[in-house]
Amino acid sequence: MREFFRATWLPTALFTAATLPLYLGNRHCSPTLSLGPAITAVILVPAAWYWYVTRSGSSRIGYAALAGASAAYVIATLSYVVLGVRFSLTHSWSQLELGALAVGLTDLLTIAGGLLIGAPIGASLGILVALAQRTHYFGASSHVEDRAKAWRSALTAIMIAILLSPLLAYLALASSQEALASLSRKYSIGYSVALAATWLASIPLAALLGARRVASTLFTRRTWVPTIALLAPAIAVGSMYGGRWAVCSGVTTAVLAPLIWSEVMSRGGHTLILGGAAAGAATAFLAQLVPAGIAMWWLRVLDTTAPDGGGHSGPTGPAVLSLLLTAPVAALLGAAIGAVVSRHLPAFAAPALVATSPPAGTRP
């Protein structure tokens, strides 16, 4: 933790201070616009700088410039995009009339300005911080180098996708005008919504394509048996809410179980059984939260688009209580299954843990 603060306090302070013009320009507007960029900088910059720049082995100029440019773009546009999406879902183009032109120009200037002005400033700040830190950080230890390369590849792809997202959003918006015309009486879908949708689609895809080593764990022999075993609690508990919920829980398990299992079991400091129980519990719990989030979102869509003004106000109290009770039950079942798999099938754990853990049925 001390190393984390030593490595990130300077870039965090500089990027947060750089948001002062945004605060002064928007201090009479919504707090989201005035304080949002500073909050985003405090949260985003330390994580991006430490995991991408510092852990690259040294404060490299290229990594620092890319991290600074992408972070600055997100800092400058995220708050506006959040408000823009909310505005688009509550106002229609027909209601705005002449104000639609002002909304469209504001979208364009903010999002394009973040790329043409904010990104170069962020890259410059990143380079300055990297030059200042070069004499203090000499690289990560060798035993984490392979994993650092995989994560760094994923982060590189994500940052490039962020910088390309304004162009992709414009192309998506221009190619779907006919489809959006039917929604103009109820929504004002513009550049902000297109950019948010581009982020949601491109960032996960870029991460998967960039971290080929991480994505390849979906197919390794150490994860397919735990994944199949953990499908049982996901489908069993999910079937209590219907077939669609069970299918969504099963798909979530199939995606998350290999990633969580390989990540947890590759870390030291715990026994095979404890690691398997933790991985199983986390997977089973998330397998119920994901369909719950989708259900809440779908109810919100029905509430917004219903001709009679809705009627679907969201999940009811008993439904929320039921979820709060069944999700921990699924986690307990997942922990039990994970512990059994890791105890009796040690070949599906990481080699380091297999070498250091006692055989089943023996005392350490």
CA separation for the pair 113, 161 (Å, rounded) = 17
pLDDT at 56: 64
Calculate what percentage of the chain has a pLDDT beyond 90.
9
Question: Which DSSP symbol is given to 183?
Answer: T
Whether 245 and 231 have beta carbons less than 8 Å apart is answered as no
Give the tokens for residue 247.
């299918």
CA separation for the pair 96, 102 (Å, rounded) = 9
| Rounded alpha-carbon distances, angstroms, from residue 190 to 12, 73, 108, 170 | 32, 19, 9, 10
- Give 155: exposed, middle or buried? Use CB within 10 Å, 0-12, 13-18, 19+: buried
Does 316 share its domain with 330?
Answer: yes
Of 215, 230, 248, the one marking the end of a domain is 215
Does 196 share its domain with 227?
Answer: no
DSSP string, 55-122: GGSS--HHHHHHHHHHHHHHHHHHHHHHHHHHHHHH--HHHHTTHHHHHHHHHHHHHHHIIIIIHHHH
pLDDT in tens, 331-357: 899 899 988 888 776 555 544 444 444
Residue 168 has pLDDT above 90, yes or no: no
Does 9 share its domain with 148?
Answer: yes
pLDDT at 185: 65
CA separation for the pair 156, 54 (Å, rounded) = 14
Does 116 share its domain with 91?
Answer: yes
Does 113 share its domain with 251?
Answer: no
What residues make up the domain containing 297? 220-364
Of 215, 239, 270, the one marking the end of a domain is 215
Longest dimension (CA), the chain: 78
State how many domains the chain has.
Answer: 2
pLDDT at 240: 79
Does 276 share its domain with 327?
Answer: yes
* Average pLDDT taken over every residue of the chain: 75
Own/partner pairs, 139-144, CB within 8 angstroms, 24+ separation:
139/56, 139/57, 139/58, 140/55, 140/56, 140/57, 144/55
pLDDT at 124: 93
Least confident of 58-67, 272-281, 353-362: 353-362
Does 360 share its domain with 231?
Answer: yes
Does 355 share its domain with 305?
Answer: yes
Does 200 share its domain with 251?
Answer: no
pLDDT at 345: 65
Does 168 share its domain with 259?
Answer: no
pLDDT in tens, 78-131: 888 888 888 777 776 666 655 666 667 777 888 888 889 989 999 999 998 888
> How would you classify residue 21: left for phi > 0, otherwise alpha for psi between -120 and 50, otherwise beta?
alpha
pLDDT at 353: 46
pLDDT at 320: 56
Residue 73 has pLDDT above 90, yes or no: yes
Whole-prediction pTM: 0.57
pLDDT in tens, 221-263: 567 788 888 888 888 887 877 776 777 788 888 878 877 887 7
Does 14 share its domain with 110?
Answer: yes
Of 190, 215, 240, the one marking the end of a domain is 215
Does 16 share its domain with 104?
Answer: yes
